[in-house]
């Protein structure tokens, strides 16, 4: 079988992985392991400049790779990301059509990758379809598996693959069964499954019909997970988190390292909603672990609230930033980005069903109420949220970190702790929750969603 791992340098001849060069007079260039990992993916990109870009990094200082704000590193990382997506697309969208030849059934697929990823995917298809005889034809190369050996053939054209599809009905049944309403966002669906792949995928004929019924199915899925006997809230949440990891609903996913999803007990009474992950959260993949998180922890402690009992999430799940030199400077999510991320927040609320949702700052307040309003307008009021929970709005902990005046900062901190105590009092029953309180209606605010 052809190997699907390409080595960017030969041992002992080219640059060596860091730590592998030994002894005096060893002229080998040391390269961080991360460079090799990145290069291995980037060389599969279709951009003709890929080698020049990698070489530039190598020739200047490969340790630059540790600087995520370095424009060259960022460009290479985006290229690697595009390659990984293309690898994933091939795995997801290859559709075999069955023929019968003298050796029995044979499955042929036509696929047009954007990058040079066909060989890198060979192992996946061999393992997945080990017992079938198959060929994958592409404009660059063809792969053939006879059940024991993988061989490579020349480039092919679409006409070389059969057009009709005897297993089409099977694909359609399968697709209708696994159709995930979480992908309903049509823009996101088109990004994930661009139309150019549709012509090779029989099940796409079903998309219109499935989309029409998807809203109802989405609600039913979450309800079932929550309430059915043996309903698997944990499983549903994990599926949601995994789905969010591949979110492309707005452009923020591209430069961010990863989606930072919410976390905490799924039966939490209180949900805390921040604005968006910061630099450290983006790297760690967890909400509120950086300086704002430390401030929050301190205030929660002072208010007598156990962080371990909260479900903590963000209004927007990707880090938005502007690169400045080596630093990534926080940038505020805009209205479109908040709206795009609302789907994830709404699903988290539907699964966790918190009694109380505490919004930290204006972005979170907008997300939980679906309305535009200032903190000063909402702060310290019980709000009847559209999803049935009670809302409570306070400032964002990073606001406290930004106050230059020590006296003002100390006062703002005391007010923040008092707000958190207020939230606790609501839950402890010292104050009624908003559902019974006609004053708490948010419907008078200007709707934004």
Contact 445, 393 (CB under 8 A): no
| Smallest separation, CB 396 to ligand URA (Å) | 6
Q: What secondary structure does DSSP assign to 276-302, as a single string?
A: ---HHHHHHTSTT-SHHHHHHHHHHHH
**Binder of ligand URA out of 276, 347, 369, 390 (CB under 6 A):** 276
Question: Does residue number 281 form part of the binding site for ligand URA (CB under 6 A)?
Answer: yes
* Continuous H helices in 15-70: 33-42, 50-60
| H or E stretch covering 136 | strand 134-137
| Smallest separation, CB 279 to ligand URA (Å) | 9
The 3-state DSSP class for residue 53 equals helix
**Binder of ligand URA out of 70, 192, 203, 275 (CB under 6 A):** 275
How many contiguous H segments (helices) and E segments (strands) does the chain have? Answer: 16, 16
Q: Is 304 left (phi over 0), alpha (psi -120 to 50) or beta?
A: left
Bridge pairing between strands 16-17 and 30-31:
parallel
> Nearer Cβ to ligand URA, position 135 or 276?
276
Question: Does residue number 357 form part of the binding site for ligand URA (CB under 6 A)?
Answer: no
Report the C-alpha gap between 1 and 148 in whole angstroms: 9
| Smallest separation, CB 398 to ligand URA (Å) | 6
| Smallest separation, CB 260 to ligand URA (Å) | 6
Stretch 13-72 residues interacting with ligand URA (CB under 6 A): none
The 3-state DSSP class for residue 150 equals strand
Starting at the edge strand found earlier in the chain, the sheet holding 150-153 runs 97-101, 104-110, 134-137, 142-145, 150-153
Question: Does residue number 278 form part of the binding site for ligand URA (CB under 6 A)?
Answer: yes
Give the CA distances from residue 194 to residues 88, 133, 190, 256, 261, in Å, rounded to whole numbers and listed in that order.
13, 28, 5, 22, 25
Question: Does residue number 365 form part of the binding site for ligand URA (CB under 6 A)?
Answer: no
Q: Residues in contact with ligand URA, total (CB under 6 A)? A: 13
**Binder of ligand URA out of 62, 181, 262, 274 (CB under 6 A):** 274
> Nearer Cβ to ligand URA, position 86 or 279?
279
Stretch 398-417 residues interacting with ligand URA (CB under 6 A): 398
> Nearer Cβ to ligand URA, position 9 or 284?
284
Question: Does residue number 8 form part of the binding site for ligand URA (CB under 6 A)?
Answer: no
Residue in the shown chain whose Cβ atom is closest to ligand URA:
274
> Nearer Cβ to ligand URA, position 16 or 420?
420
Contact 337, 328 (CB under 8 A): no
The first and second tokens of residue 293, run together, are 């998180």
Draw the binding track, 297-336, toward ligand URA (x: CB under 6 A; -: no contact): -----------------x----------------------
| H or E stretch covering 168 | helix 168-178
**Binder of ligand URA out of 287, 338, 341, 358 (CB under 6 A):** 287
Question: Does residue number 277 form part of the binding site for ligand URA (CB under 6 A)?
Answer: yes
Question: Which residues of this protein are in contact with ligand URA, per CB under 6 A?
Answer: 274-278, 281, 287-288, 290, 292-293, 314, 398
């Amino acid at each position: 079988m052809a190997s699907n791992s390409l080595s960017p340098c030969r041992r002992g001849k080219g640059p060596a992985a860091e730590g592998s060069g030994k002894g005096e007079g060893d002229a080998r260039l040391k390269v961080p392991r991360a460079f090799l990992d990145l290069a291995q993916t980037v060389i599969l990109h279709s951009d003709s400049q890929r080698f020049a870009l990698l070489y530039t990094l190598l020739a200047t200082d490969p340790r630059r790779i540790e600087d995520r704000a370095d424009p060259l590193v960022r460009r290479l990382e985006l290229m690697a990301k595009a390659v990984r997506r293309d690898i994933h697309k091939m795995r997801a969208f290859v559709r075999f059509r069955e023929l019968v030849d003298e050796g029995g059934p044979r499955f042929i697929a036509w696929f047009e990758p954007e990058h040079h990823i066909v060989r890198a995917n060979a192992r996946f298809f061999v393992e997945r379809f080990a017992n079938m005889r198959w060929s994958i034809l592409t404009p660059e190369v063809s792969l053939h598996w006879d059940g024991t050996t993988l061989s490579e053939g020349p480039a092919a054209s679409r006409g070389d693959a059969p057009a009709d599809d005897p297993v089409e009905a099977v694909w359609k049944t399968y697709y209708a069964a696994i159709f995930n309403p979480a992908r309903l966002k049509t823009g996101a669906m088109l990004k994930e499954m661009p139309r150019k792949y549709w012509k090779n995928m029989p099940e796409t004929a079903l998309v219109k019909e499935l989309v029409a019924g998807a809203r109802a199915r989405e609600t039913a899925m979450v309800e079932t997970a929550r309430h059915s006997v043996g309903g698997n809230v944990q499983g549903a949440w994990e599926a949601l988190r995994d789905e969010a990891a591949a979110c492309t609903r707005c452009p923020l996913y591209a430069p961010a390292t990863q989606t930072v999803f919410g976390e905490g007990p799924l039966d939490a009474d209180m949900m805390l909603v921040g604005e968006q992950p910061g630099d450290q959260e983006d790297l760690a993949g967890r909400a509120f672990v950086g300086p704002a998180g430390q401030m929050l922890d301190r205030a929660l402690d002072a208010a007598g609230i156990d962080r371990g009992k909260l479900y903590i999430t963000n209004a927007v799940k990707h880090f938005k930033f502007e690169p400045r030199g080596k630093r990534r400077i926080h940038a505020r999510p805009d209205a479109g980005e908040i709206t795009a991320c609302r789907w994830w927040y709404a699903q988290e609320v539907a699964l966790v069903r918190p009694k109380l949702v505490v919004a930290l700052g204006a972005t979170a307040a907008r997300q939980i109420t679906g309305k535009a309003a200032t903190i000063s307008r909402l702060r310290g009021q019980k709000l009847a949220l559209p999803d049935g929970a009670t809302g409570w709005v306070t400032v964002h902990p990073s606001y406290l970190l930004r106050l230059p005046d020590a006296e003002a900062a100390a006062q703002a901190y005391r007010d923040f702790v008092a707000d958190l105590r207020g939230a606790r009092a609501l839950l402890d029953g010292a104050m009624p929750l908003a559902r019974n309180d006609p004053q708490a209606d948010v419907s008078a605010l200007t709707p934004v969603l």
